[in-house]
Structure 1
Amino acid sequence: MPPSDWFSPLLRPELAGLTAYAPAPIPSGSVRLDANESPWALPPEARASLSAALARVELHRYPDVRATALREAIASAEGVHPDSLVLGCGSDEVIGLLLNALAAPRPGAEHAAVLFPTPTFVMYRQTALSLGMRPHGVALDEAFDLALDPLREQLRLHRPNVVFLASPNNPTGTLFSRDRLESVLSETGDTLVVLDEAYAAFSGVRYGDLCERFPHAARLQTLSKVGLAALRVGWAILPTALAAAVEKVRQPYNLNALSQAAAVHCLTELRPEVDAAVQRVVAERARVEALLLAMDGLEVTPSAANFWWIAVPDSAARVSAAMRDRGVVVRSFHAHGGALTRRLRITVGTPSENDRMLEALRASL
């Protein structure tokens, strides 16, 4: 019999530095403000309408491999050609599709490189490593904006295949300065620059005009932050020739029929309800941000997303644990070290959830 770890020599060496995504169990009855989900479910009438649409899905048939109706709904909403879209199971899968397709090393390089600011969405790094690419992070400046000189230096050193720029950025909640985004785009003609708009609904800022001006720019979008996280629907808006190439690495039927039907219904018939929920988050963000700013000892970064990025006086690990004991779960970034040892990310909840969060935070400082 072979040893129990017979497969170890066959694993990618990069996997040794990765851990599987396994969030800690959430105590029953807790207020969950750690995952940047919408706090509001669809209203009863909208849920009934959605149920009727889902009842028409033929579960004995494979899904539409092209997700034609969904593709057309997104294209209409964004003013783009349907063939410019690559759809996936959340933006996580789309990130993987992009990197898988664009993984050829540059001439003279052993591995393809991927570049992004830090801190930012962890899946850029995680996916690059899992595909044998080399991820390179560039620290944001003190205002959590793009630091252009270090970024230029890393672009020169590594000549990345792909640059990811999330704006608003997760976890900082900040919009990158438009002139700095344009500078990056002006200096990266043979690199795909992905403008991740996962949180754009909460900022009102989108980058379709930049993609029209710069043919190597792309946009990444998702339904997960606007109240439809369970659907796992995301997409990239790409130059059509690149989209056709990326489609070659997409698995058939990667987006199930129920998610396709629900996404179409929510982007069309239920769009007013989805947009209304976003505006409720924006209003609640402003109300609570003013109260956070009034708390002694906190540093609160103005947010353009659906969460707050705050620094506590001492240890984020201690404060988040104390809040958890009080029934409120938030995200601590202490494990990242350095200046992030004091940082918490707190998702905007309902008014009652946010009031409970404020009470727990005050008691935990």
Structure 2
Amino acid sequence: MAEVELAALLRPELEELRPYVPHEPPGISVKLDANEAPPSPSPAIRDAVQRAIAGVTLERYPDPRALRLKEAIARRTGARSDELLVGAGSDELIALVLTAMARPRERAPQPVVLTPTPTFVMYRVSARGHGHKPVEVPLDASWDLDATMMKRAIDMMRPNIVFVASPNNPTGNRVEDERLRDVIGAATGVFTIVDEAYVDYSAEGSVRGWREEYPNLGILRTVSKIGLAALRVGWLEADSALVAELDKVRQPFNLSATSQAAAAAVLEDAWDDVRADVARVVKARGELAAAITAIDGFSVTPSSANFLWVKTPGSAEAIFESLVKDGVLVRSFHSAGGRLGAQLRITVGTDSENDALVSALRRARGVA
């Protein structure tokens, strides 16, 4: 009886959500499904992390303001420390924004979050879990932002928040500047967040310089995609007055002392090594894209991230299952159906992993 009574207290939105459970089939030796960076050949990054963690006072709570980390981020990005909110990866920062910006618009039953689709799934999942209504606008035929439909949705739905990932996950492409400006400019009075989790791999770089022109613009960043996923460190850059308000719903010790110290140390002492690792991935990305495109029936969307968006001949499911039998794990979108049914997202791995993938794709071609 008590179990039934407690279940009645749960948000009704939870009925349509599922906990995150990674797909981990047995026998996988090449894991290219999670957009993780390959191991760094440079000892400098690991040495910086080990020295930083060794200096952490374990019996003390972390710095609740993360001052050293914020200063290190500020020096690398050009932001001011008071414009930064740090968290346990982008996921926590998305949740903090949704928690704080949850007041419905006048005559609206609930707050609205607007995103393109397909994109990073946690925008929708976190929105539902926090009582927001997610509204999704399909990307165009080239997987770029449909600015006209996004502006129409802004006008009709009056969202509190707009999320745009650029480069986008899972498609890998960077949003065209003119389209992005069009949407940000139309979103007056809407907190518009450009999620730049993969921007380090983009030749065009960040749009954070646009913040002077668009005060409603926030920039989301992370170190997870550049070889430091284990640290779970991300940051939001936005107007300092808004950051101060968002900070009111942040838990005081949300980011561990070890993560703060390690991330700051890498930003301060080993950033050149991180940049060298990024350059190696970008080079390998081009080589891998060319190798996949050379296989009959496959095509690759131009990528500005550390992964490739691959169109398969026929259903992606058969290719995916064949790769798994060969010990190679990628991300398949066949279960979504429609145009996503023939798409794989493939992380750029080490040279040997990429070679194993290409060989497995060639063998899989016979089952498409």
Indicate whether the TM-score tops 0.5: yes
Aligned length in residues: 364
The equivalent residue for 1:317 is 317
Task: Say if 1:28 and 1:44 are closer, same or farther in 2 by CA, change over 3 A.
Answer: farther
TM-score, with normalisation over the residues of structure 1? 0.97
Q: Is the 8 A contact 1:334 1:341 kept in 2?
A: yes
Matched AA of 1:242:
L
SS in 2 for 1:93: helix
Runs of 4 or more above 4 Å deviation? none
Question: Cα deviation per residue 1:59-113 (whole Å; 9 max; x = unaligned)?
Answer: 0000000111001111111111101111110000000111111110000101000
Matched AA of 1:281:
V
C-alpha distance in structure 2 between counterparts of 1:49 and 1:157, whole Å:
50
C-alpha distance in structure 1 between counterparts of 2:222 and 2:141, whole Å:
28
Question: Cα deviation per residue 1:137-196 (whole Å; 9 max; x = unaligned)?
Answer: 100100111112211221111110000011100000111110111111111110011011
Q: Is the 8 A contact 2:28 2:329 kept in 1?
A: no
The equivalent residue for 2:282 is 282
C-alpha distance in structure 2 between counterparts of 1:43 and 1:329, whole Å:
26
Report the alpha carbon displacement of residue 46 of structure 1 after superposing the two structures with TM: 3.7
Question: Cα deviation per residue 1:241-296 (whole Å; 9 max; x = unaligned)?
Answer: 10000000101100000000100011110111111111110000011111112111
Q: Is the 8 A contact 2:45 2:266 kept in 1?
A: no
Matched AA of 1:76:
R
SS in 2 for 1:219: strand
The equivalent residue for 2:229 is 229
Q: Is the 8 A contact 1:116 1:165 kept in 2?
A: yes
SS in 2 for 1:181: helix
C-alpha distance in structure 2 between counterparts of 1:36 and 1:346, whole Å:
8
TM-score, with normalisation over the residues of structure 2? 0.97
The alignment yields a C-alpha RMSD, in angstroms, of 1.2
The equivalent residue for 1:63 is 62
Q: Is the 8 A contact 2:189 2:216 kept in 1?
A: yes
Q: Is the 8 A contact 1:41 1:227 kept in 2?
A: yes
Matched AA of 2:213:
R
For structure 1, the residue ranges without an aligned partner over 5 or more in a row are: none
The equivalent residue for 1:343 is 343
Q: Is the 8 A contact 2:52 2:258 kept in 1?
A: no
The equivalent residue for 1:52 is 51
Q: Is the 8 A contact 2:139 2:146 kept in 1?
A: yes
Between 62-71 and 39-48, the greater mean CA deviation after superposition: 39-48
Q: Is the 8 A contact 1:196 1:219 kept in 2?
A: yes
C-alpha distance in structure 2 between counterparts of 1:99 and 1:113, whole Å:
10
Report the alpha carbon displacement of residue 28 of structure 1 after superposing the two structures with TM: 4.8
Question: Structure 2 matches for 1:112-131, cutoff 5 A?
Answer: 112-131=111-130
Task: Say if 1:152 and 1:93 are closer, same or farther in 2 by CA, change over 3 A.
Answer: same
Q: Is the 8 A contact 2:298 2:312 kept in 1?
A: yes
For structure 2, the residue ranges without an aligned partner over 5 or more in a row are: none
C-alpha distance in structure 2 between counterparts of 1:149 and 1:48, whole Å:
49
